[in-house]
Amino acid sequence: MPEGKEVLKDAMQMESPSAQLPTSQPTSARRPSEQQRKEFLESDNQIETVEKHRVSCRKCLTWIDLGRASSYATGNWVKHKVRCSAAMYVFVILPLSIRILWALHLARAAAWQLQSEDCFS
């Protein structure tokens, strides 16, 4: 086989979908070490306290169980963080913006009422 065809064949094999499928064996690139998981949790500003199997959320002031299978597992925390942020929007930010809009509405209504009274006086 000429050299150019071998290079092309090698390139095609590297780009094949089967070459890109993940292996069933864990690798260091896929599974962070305990120290890396601990540093990840400690660097999150939304976490108040980090322990081996639980963290406390600064936003909702609750303890989140990280699981007993491995120390500093991050899965439960990531799920909680998404839900907690959405809940903060629904229960805190959204009602606050509604109250602000309602206050603006009342102020405009009062101003309109004063204007209409001036017109009929």
What's the pLDDT score for residue 116? 66
- 60, part of any domain: yes
pTM of the model: 0.50
pLDDT in tens, the chain (121 residues): 455 455 445 444 544 444 444 444 555 568 899 999 999 999 999 999 999 999 999 888 889 999 998 999 999 999 999 888 776 666 666 777 777 888 888 888 888 776 766 666 5
The range of the structural domain enclosing residue 100 comes to: 32-114
- 94, part of any domain: yes
- 36, part of any domain: yes
How far CA 109 is from CA of 59, 106, 120, 121, in Å, comes to 36, 5, 17, 18
- 83, part of any domain: yes
What's the pLDDT score for residue 36? 95
DSSP per-residue letters across the chain = --HHHHHHHHHHHHHSHHHHSPPSS--TTTS--HHHHHHHHHT-TTEEEE-SSEEEETTT--EEE--SSSTT--HHHHHHHHHHHHHHIIIIIHHHHHHHHHHHHHHHHHHHHHHHHHHH-
Domain count, the chain: 1
- 64, part of any domain: yes
- 37, part of any domain: yes
- 3, part of any domain: no
- 84, part of any domain: yes
